[in-house]
Homo-oligomer: A and B are copies of this chain.
Amino acid sequence: MNESQAIEALAALSHETRLRIVRHLVTRAEAGDSAGAIGEVVDAAPSKITFHVSALERAGLVSSERVSRQIVYRINFEQMGRVLNYVLTDCCANNATVMTCCGIKS
């Protein structure tokens, strides 16, 4: 993960609706969820879901797969971890205080 990828991911995460989408998709894990179902959970119109979920997908935080009439979105756990690792390592130089406050032991 390079700087511009990290910036895109951080920007994608810095929005209430998108954070709600992420949280919901995390609970769905491998099952994922359709745009329509996501829209009901986060209470947003279809075009809004497309807009925000596209931002998450561009950032690599979410993947999509068409399943018949629906498009199923899934969270990309690896990418979420990479973003956190980028901030921790490339920005904070694995600072001990940051790691402790982040809840990391070693």
Q: Report which A residues bind B (CB closer than 8 A).
A: 3-4, 6-8, 10-11, 13-16, 19, 22-23, 26-27, 77-85, 87-93, 95, 97-106
CB pairs A–B below 8 angstroms (20 shown): A3-B19, A6-B19, A7-B19, A10-B11, A10-B13, A13-B87, A19-B91, A23-B90, A26-B92, A27-B93, A77-B92, A77-B101, A80-B91, A80-B101, A81-B101, A84-B84, A84-B101, A85-B103, A88-B102, A89-B103
As for how many copies of this chain the complex holds, the number is: 2
Q: Is the CB of A104 within 8 A of B101?
A: no
Contact A99 B81 (CB under 8 A): yes
- Are A23 and B81 CB-contacts (below 8 A) given A7-B15, A11-B11, A14-B10? no
